[in-house]
Amino acid sequence: MTWTLVLTLAAGAYAFKVFGLVVIGDRPLPAALERCLALIPAAVIAAIVAKDTLSIGQHLQIDARLAGVTVAIVAAWRKMPVIVVIVVGAATTGIVRQLAG
Amino acid sequence: MSLREPRVRPVLTTSITLGVAVGVFAIVFGVGAVSAGGSVAQACAMSLLIFTGASQLSAVAVIAGGGSFGSAVGGALILAARNSVFGLTMSRRLSGRLPTRLLAAQITIDESTAMATAQTDPELQRVAFWATGISIYVFWNLGTLVGALAGSAIDPKKFGLDAAIPCAFVAILFPHLRTRRGRQAMALGAALCLATIPFLPIGVPVLISALAILVAVPVPDDDVPDSDTRVTGELPA
């Protein structure tokens, strides 16, 4: 974690926000491009969930985190509030880790 | 429009509720930032200046996993790119001159855009955007400070807090399950990431996963979501 990283991300994130709101403004984009951009959260966040659940560094690994995230998926599917999803997921991970360790 | 008008009240209530929920995420971020080696000041600066939750969490996750500067920046900025799309959406709804728009840009995130587009009245759309954006900005930064101060005092793994971030992401992914393209992008993105993890440097597989958005290139058919549920995403992502 460095200040260079913090400031680079700050500049980059703000540039994206300004680009949409101020630079492009009302001008239309190609429809296919807009459809693709709308899927960025789904594709990238799903990848992060998979990585954070099933890998450590460059190794694939199944451990207590899979139990926690599975419980979180069930909680989200049952339309539990987001805070409940996080707490039961983290708690399950912690408990399974204690029992297994 | 007066803020005392009856039809404004539910919008303000929802914006504060969303802010509180997001504040809890911010505590998770604050804990994660200091466990990844950041200082309290760096954690707070990230939330004040970057103010894009998913990007901040992803950068911290890459650094915590030993990833490089480039992969941390690349992954975080790919996630930040969608704020451009929200900006496009809001530019058609916000009035105001350049200084106002430059200020509005900083709070152009998932929740403020979702709350605005959930209203039909143009004036109410603007109220919803500003109220939600400001509420989330305040609570996101308060939560970050609390998490960063607490984070150095606890071992996150003992309480399963290393799983808190993927669990938080699970919650905000659910609205994307409602469209076929969303489901395809999620499945393909996760598969691309897992398949490349053993072979590519840390952080790069997440960038590769963005290729999954290409499933949307063909002309859409009957891909209509069940309802507008974007408001349920509770992270300024």
Measured between CB atoms, which of B162, B173, B213 is closest to A36? B213
Measured between CB atoms, which of A69, A82, A92 is closest to B166? A69
Domain boundaries along the sequence of chain B: 6-172
Residue A64 confidence (pLDDT) above 80: yes
- Answer whether A83's CB lies under 8 Å from A92's CB: no
Strand partners, A55: A60
**End-to-end Cα separation, chain A, in angstroms:** 30
Q: Do A38 and B85 touch (CB under 8 A)?
A: yes
Question: Which pLDDT band, with edges at 50, 70 and 90, does A89 fall under?
Answer: very high
This model's pTM is above 0.90: no
Query: Of the given ranges (A28-42, A45-59, B23-37, B103-117), which has the lowest mean pLDDT?
Result: A28-42
Question: With the C-alpha atoms ordered A41, A44, A49, A50, is the resulting torsion angle positive or negative?
Answer: positive
Q: Got the DSSP string for B119-153?
A: --SHHHHHHHHHHHHHHHHHHHHHHHHHHHHHHTT
Nearest residue on chain B to A77, alpha-carbon basis: B174
- Answer whether B11's CB lies under 8 Å from B124's CB: yes
Nearest residue on chain B to A90, alpha-carbon basis: B160
Interatomic CA distance for residues A82 and A78, integer angstroms: 11
Q: Do B50 and A83 touch (CB under 8 A)?
A: no
In this prediction, what percent of chain A has a pLDDT beyond 70? 97
Question: With the C-alpha atoms ordered B180, B183, B187, B189, is the resulting torsion angle positive or negative?
Answer: positive
Interatomic CA distance for residues B205 and B115, integer angstroms: 32
DSSP 3-state assignment of A86? helix
What are the backbone angles phi and psi of residue A59, rounded to the nearest 5°? Answer: -110, 135
Residue A50 confidence (pLDDT) above 70: yes
Taking CB atoms and an 8 Å cutoff, what residues of chain B touch A48? 57-58, 61, 165-166, 169, 193, 206
Give the pLDDT score at B21: 76
Task: Work out the mean pLDDT of chain A and round it to a whole number.
Answer: 89
User: CB contacts < 8 Å between A and B, how many?
Assistant: 317
Interatomic CA distance for residues A10 and A19, integer angstroms: 14
Q: Do B82 and A38 touch (CB under 8 A)?
A: yes
Question: With the C-alpha atoms ordered B145, B148, B153, B156, is the resulting torsion angle positive or negative?
Answer: positive
Q: Give A26→chain B minimum CA distance, Å.
A: 6
Calculated CA dihedral for residues A68, A71, A73, A77, nearest 10 degrees:
-160
Give the pLDDT score at B58: 86
Give the pLDDT score at B157: 76
Nearest residue on chain B to A68, alpha-carbon basis: B163
Interatomic CA distance for residues B90 and B80, integer angstroms: 16
The amino acid at B189 = G
Q: Do A32 and B216 touch (CB under 8 A)?
A: yes
Nearest residue on chain B to A6, alpha-carbon basis: B46
Residues of chain B with pLDDT under 50: 226-237
Give the pLDDT score at B170: 87
Q: What's the burial of A99, exposed, middle or buried (CB within 10 Å: 0-12/13-18/19+)?
A: exposed
Interatomic CA distance for residues B108 and B91, integer angstroms: 10
